[in-house]
A = this chain, B = another copy of it.
Amino acid sequence: MREEKWVFFFGKGRAEGDASMRDLLGGKGANLHEMTRLGIPVPPGFTISTQACVYYLEKEGWPPGLENQVKEHMTRLEEVMGRGFGHKNHPLLVSVRSGARVSMPGMMDTILNLGLNDESVEGLALVTDNPRFAYDSYRRLLQMFGEVVRGIPHQRFEHQLEEVKRAGGLTQDVELTAQDLSEVIERYKEVFQREGASFPQEPWEQLREAIEAVFRSWNNERARTYRRIHDIPDHWGTAVNIQAMVFGNLGEDSGTGVCFTRNPATGEKGLFGEFLPNAQGEDVVAGIRTPLSISGLCEWMPQVYQELVDLAQLLERHYRDMQDMEFTIERGKLYILQTRSGKRTVRAAIRIAVEMVEEGIIDRATALLRVDPEQLRQILHPDIDPSAVYCVIAQGLPASPGAASGKAVFSAQEAEEWAARGEKVILVRQETSPEDIGGMDAAQGILTARGGITSHAAVVARGMGKCCVVGCDALIINEEEGYFLAEGVRINRGEIITLNGSTGEVIQGEVPLVEADPGPYFNRLMEWADSVRTLKVRANVDTPENAVLARKLGAEGIGLCRTEHMFFEKDRINVVREMILAETTQERKKALTQLLPMQKEDFKGIFRAMEGLPVTIRLLDPPLHEFLPKTLQEIEAFSRERGIPLEKVQEKVTRLHEFNPMLGLRGCRLGILFPEIYQMQVRAIFEAACELVKEGVDVRPEVMVPLVAHVKEMRILRDLIEKEALAVMKEQGVKVGYLIGTMIELPRAALTADEIAQEAEFFSFGTNDLTQTTLGISRDDAAKFLPQYVEMGIYSKNPFSCLEEEGVGQLIETGVVKGRNTRHNIKLGICGEHGGDPTSIRFCHRMGLDYVSCSPFRIPTARLAAAQARVREDLMKWEEEAA
């Protein structure tokens, strides 16, 4: 019987494996083989297969033949490298790395410099003419071997290193001399002794034990837990990669560097990078010598430079993407240690993608996939200058993107007053309330200590397109005295702070910003996106100004116009409150009559801005107590102003209090209990529409009922809406085409979508609330445990940012299927926060929705994500057809 092949060689342009052998060679191994095949000069080596690992763990011993195969391949490696494993003068050193099918934290990572011992370290010192390097390499081997193979705690070694540094009055590792390192080596050996462990001087013994340690690390507790959580089968096992080490510090014909195939900041074509002659990769990172620009290499070693240029082109064409390469020149011979797709700014990503299409390297579909839609907002908002250095004093939730600097103020009134005299201000509040609208509008940015990414402050700020950081728990804010404390730093009223709404950072002082400027490459890419995507993109918008902005950013209608935000405006909120405090329907109607013309004017502005496009207006949704004054002062002020007895206001506030307002008297429940509220809103919509139709404007209202759980709610309210709409159109003598539909935002609505579709011409999935109820998580309270949940991998992402597909998605699918079953042409969309999230948009595309709706500055993101979803779908179809 032939013995099984456990070991696979790569080197000198030939490899026994390739990229397709991921299961057997692990991800890292398969890539090393692939690069070698391409003719890329990677340091040679060999891979022990995952099957060997599985055998070892099952049978608790080496598989038959493995030892011989390792020896044979090491011999081959020695030949290729011209050095001997364990040779005292010219030692061949190797690295040993684990590598499973998928990258997996918790497993053994790396042992470097394996093959060194007390004897060969001296040989290495001689041959490199660099004793410091040789001793440092040996010291690292000792430490890594001790930790990984012998399980000696990390601190034992670190402690000794610190001791030596302290003795020498040193603070940095790089300051250690060869002699110091020699001392460290001795101390490390004592650590081994004290721990009752040995460090094998015999390189073969080192290798044997390192390989076994990698095998065993597959089953250590952290790795097992990780697999259990991520559903990775235990029987996969890990491969082991053994690769020759090369050195760039063997003299003046050696060196090391990193380079990009295009400029990662701007996207401009051409080799971009830096290198250091006679140096190791580590030296570049440590920054003790200033690296030369890559063009310096051209002068110094023109052939090597040309080889690098050729390899860069080869790699770019092969991987069809801009590459970030690490290289080492060992005695005139170029090695590519690593190549990977290069990280780049979004600006560069766009330019590279567009230019690569022009160069014929990639097609448009691929170009569309090359830009992270999530990052587009960086070029739509002012951003912190990437080169700026600044001091972050607190971290909150990134609620509305962009950056802004201004003087800290602690009340809406202050914000308005200071802004009126030309000051730039940042409004800092415990949390915002409807009264603060004016101040929020006047401020450059908003910072709150409480609330989640869908709190009042966050929602309003996104609507305004204004930078906002919320839920910054660490802040201790004293609004009365006008200061806040953050991690010991005190910021007084009038001191400048800067917010980064894209990251949630709160920064002391002013920071230079760069203005938004998407540029011509962006426009080209967006055109391509629009021509590909099938999913329409609408905007969540509540004001005429934002409707104009949204249209400019590419909105194809409004998917969610929240009428309640109109109620919050300064001159209206008190009328709204009178409406709520009304004791009789008559009184309530009186207040509603005052609101009618205000709402109508808003609707007219919005309809006009969206001429020819659909506008979905949601009837009143939030619990009424949200509109009432909250603090005693606010209550007193309101009582005084409107001449309503204090006790009456207080009693109503108490009476409207809810334990779980999310699940309380809100949404269509308001419309059913107080039909006159919805009647007023419907009247405002249709009076606005009729008046515009008379002016010749093409108006397309879609009236949306929130929080429906039962078809009967929808039936009752549909009757109400139709009746009122008809009455208005009759009065005005004009006909307006319109739709009536509902949010699907409760599990019961999705589960009974077949019935609800009898009464609804469109569904808009309200994924914020649907996520809250399906998962049983209140967004506003989630900060107490959701971050830990995501960290532990229970949910892979925050389900309020990225749609949770298995549960919430299952309900959406039920809603889509059942809805279409009843009404085949039902219009389907999504209007939660997820409407602007690329992964969620991909899901929406897969579900066959008609549109997504998101806040204005998210629209380009959604357009690109929708195009990507379509491209990915096509790719999958091709793959299926090919298979």
> A773 — which chain B residues lie within 8 A by C-beta?
663, 747, 773-774, 776
In this complex, the member of A776, A788, A789, A806 whose beta carbon has the largest number of chain B beta carbons within 10 angstroms is A776
Task: Say yes or no: B751 contacts A811, CB within 8 Å.
Answer: yes
In the complex, whether A18 has a CB less than 8 A from a CB of chain B is no
User: Which of A304-312, A494-502, A593-601, A779-787 lies at the interface with chain B?
Assistant: A779-787
User: Which of A337-345, A567-575, A705-713 lies at the interface with chain B?
Assistant: A705-713
Give chain A interface residues in 638-667, CB to chain B under 8 Å.
Answer: 658-665
> A265 — which chain B residues lie within 8 A by C-beta?
none
> A707 — which chain B residues lie within 8 A by C-beta?
776
Distance from A87 Cβ to chain B, minimum over Cβ atoms (Å): 49
What string of 1s and 0s marks CB contacts (under 8 Å) between A716-736 and chain B? 100000000000000000000
Known A-B contacts A663-B660, A715-B229, A811-B747; A769 and B776 likewise in contact (beta carbons under 8 Å): yes
Q: When the two chains form the complex, which single residue of B659, B712, B746 contacts A778, counting CB atoms closer than 8 Å?
A: B659
In the complex, whether A792 has a CB less than 8 A from a CB of chain B is yes
In the complex, whether A69 has a CB less than 8 A from a CB of chain B is no
In this complex, the member of A659, A662, A807 whose beta carbon has the largest number of chain B beta carbons within 10 angstroms is A659
Task: Say yes or no: B748 contacts A713, CB within 8 Å.
Answer: no
Distance from A485 Cβ to chain B, minimum over Cβ atoms (Å): 14
Complex Cα distance, B146 from A853, in Å, reads 58
Complex Cα distance, B789 from A773, in Å, reads 20
> A781 — which chain B residues lie within 8 A by C-beta?
658-661, 663-665
What string of 1s and 0s marks CB contacts (under 8 Å) between A664-685 and chain B? 1100010011000000000000
In this complex, the member of A707, A806, A808 whose beta carbon has the largest number of chain B beta carbons within 10 angstroms is A806
Complex Cα distance, B811 from A40, in Å, reads 57
Complex Cα distance, B775 from A789, in Å, reads 26
Give chain A interface residues in 750-789, CB to chain B under 8 Å.
Answer: 751-752, 769, 772-778, 780-781, 784-785, 788-789
> A794 — which chain B residues lie within 8 A by C-beta?
672, 710, 712-713, 716
> A300 — which chain B residues lie within 8 A by C-beta?
none
In the complex, whether A793 has a CB less than 8 A from a CB of chain B is yes
Chain B residue with the shortest CB-CB distance to A473: B655
In this complex, the member of A228, A707, A712, A806 whose beta carbon has the largest number of chain B beta carbons within 10 angstroms is A712
In the complex, whether A795 has a CB less than 8 A from a CB of chain B is yes
What copy number does this chain have within its complex? 2
A-B contact pairs, 20 of them (CB 8 A): A660-B661, A660-B772, A660-B778, A660-B780, A663-B777, A672-B785, A709-B776, A709-B807, A710-B795, A712-B792, A746-B776, A747-B776, A747-B807, A748-B774, A748-B775, A748-B806, A748-B807, A751-B807, A751-B811, A773-B776
In the complex, whether A303 has a CB less than 8 A from a CB of chain B is no
In the complex, whether A810 has a CB less than 8 A from a CB of chain B is yes
Using a CB–CB distance below 8 Å, which chain A residues touch chain B?
228-229, 658-665, 669, 672-673, 707, 709-710, 712-713, 715-716, 745-748, 751-752, 769, 772-778, 780-781, 784-785, 788-789, 792-795, 804, 806-808, 810-811
Chain B residue with the shortest CB-CB distance to A229: B712
Chain B residue with the shortest CB-CB distance to A793: B712
Complex Cα distance, B229 from A658, in Å, reads 29
> A777 — which chain B residues lie within 8 A by C-beta?
663, 709
Task: Say yes or no: A673 contacts B751, CB within 8 Å.
Answer: no
> A664 — which chain B residues lie within 8 A by C-beta?
778, 781, 784
In this complex, the member of A664, A673, A781, A808 whose beta carbon has the largest number of chain B beta carbons within 10 angstroms is A781
Chain B residue with the shortest CB-CB distance to A810: B751
Distance from A366 Cβ to chain B, minimum over Cβ atoms (Å): 35
> A751 — which chain B residues lie within 8 A by C-beta?
774, 806-807, 810-811
Q: When the two chains form the complex, which single residue of B769, B772, B785 contacts A665, counting CB atoms closer than 8 Å?
A: B785
Complex Cα distance, B778 from A713, in Å, reads 18
Task: Say yes or no: A780 contacts B672, CB within 8 Å.
Answer: no
> A793 — which chain B residues lie within 8 A by C-beta?
712
Task: Say yes or no: B788 contacts A776, CB within 8 Å.
Answer: no
A661-B781, A747-B811, A748-B808 given. 15 additional CB < 8 A pairs? A229-B715, A660-B663, A663-B778, A669-B785, A672-B785, A672-B794, A673-B785, A707-B776, A710-B794, A712-B793, A712-B794, A746-B774, A747-B773, A747-B776, A769-B776
Q: When the two chains form the complex, which single residue of B228, B659, B776, B789 contacts A748, counting CB atoms closer than 8 Å?
A: B776
Distance from A430 Cβ to chain B, minimum over Cβ atoms (Å): 11
Task: Say yes or no: B715 contacts A659, CB within 8 Å.
Answer: no
Q: When the two chains form the complex, which single residue of B716, B780, B806 contacts A659, counting CB atoms closer than 8 Å?
A: B780
> A746 — which chain B residues lie within 8 A by C-beta?
774-776
Distance from A776 Cβ to chain B, minimum over Cβ atoms (Å): 4
| Ranked 8 nearest A-B pairs via Cβ | A748-B807, A663-B778, A660-B778, A664-B781, A746-B776, A659-B780, A747-B747, A665-B784
Distance from A23 Cβ to chain B, minimum over Cβ atoms (Å): 25
Known A-B contacts A746-B775, A794-B713; A788 and B659 likewise in contact (beta carbons under 8 Å): no
In this complex, the member of A661, A673, A748, A773 whose beta carbon has the largest number of chain B beta carbons within 10 angstroms is A748
Complex Cα distance, B748 from A296, in Å, reads 60
> A713 — which chain B residues lie within 8 A by C-beta?
794
> A780 — which chain B residues lie within 8 A by C-beta?
658-660
> A776 — which chain B residues lie within 8 A by C-beta?
662-663, 707, 709, 745-748, 769, 773
In this complex, the member of A663, A707, A712, A751 whose beta carbon has the largest number of chain B beta carbons within 10 angstroms is A663
> A658 — which chain B residues lie within 8 A by C-beta?
778, 780-781, 784
Complex Cα distance, B563 from A214, in Å, reads 45
Distance from A26 Cβ to chain B, minimum over Cβ atoms (Å): 25
Complex Cα distance, B373 from A433, in Å, reads 51
Distance from A661 Cβ to chain B, minimum over Cβ atoms (Å): 7
Task: Say yes or no: B715 contacts A792, CB within 8 Å.
Answer: no
Distance from A368 Cβ to chain B, minimum over Cβ atoms (Å): 33
Complex Cα distance, B716 from A721, in Å, reads 50
Task: Say yes or no: A672 contacts B792, CB within 8 Å.
Answer: yes
Task: Say yes or no: B672 contacts A788, CB within 8 Å.
Answer: yes
Complex Cα distance, B659 from A777, in Å, reads 11
Complex Cα distance, B708 from A789, in Å, reads 13
Chain B residue with the shortest CB-CB distance to A772: B663
Complex Cα distance, B245 from A412, in Å, reads 78
> A665 — which chain B residues lie within 8 A by C-beta?
781, 784-785
Complex Cα distance, B804 from A672, in Å, reads 20
Task: Say yes or no: A673 contacts B778, CB within 8 Å.
Answer: no
Distance from A722 Cβ to chain B, minimum over Cβ atoms (Å): 13
Chain B residue with the shortest CB-CB distance to A667: B776
> A660 — which chain B residues lie within 8 A by C-beta?
660-663, 772, 778, 780-781
> A769 — which chain B residues lie within 8 A by C-beta?
776
Complex Cα distance, B665 from A788, in Å, reads 12
> A710 — which chain B residues lie within 8 A by C-beta?
794-795
Complex Cα distance, B793 from A773, in Å, reads 24
> A229 — which chain B residues lie within 8 A by C-beta?
712, 715
Complex Cα distance, B746 from A774, in Å, reads 6
Q: When the two chains form the complex, which single residue of B662, B748, B752 contacts A663, counting CB atoms closer than 8 Å?
A: B662
Complex Cα distance, B769 from A709, in Å, reads 16
Complex Cα distance, B644 from A858, in Å, reads 49
Distance from A844 Cβ to chain B, minimum over Cβ atoms (Å): 19
Distance from A501 Cβ to chain B, minimum over Cβ atoms (Å): 23
Distance from A705 Cβ to chain B, minimum over Cβ atoms (Å): 13
Chain B residue with the shortest CB-CB distance to A804: B748
Complex Cα distance, B794 from A665, in Å, reads 15
Distance from A632 Cβ to chain B, minimum over Cβ atoms (Å): 15
Complex Cα distance, B775 from A773, in Å, reads 9
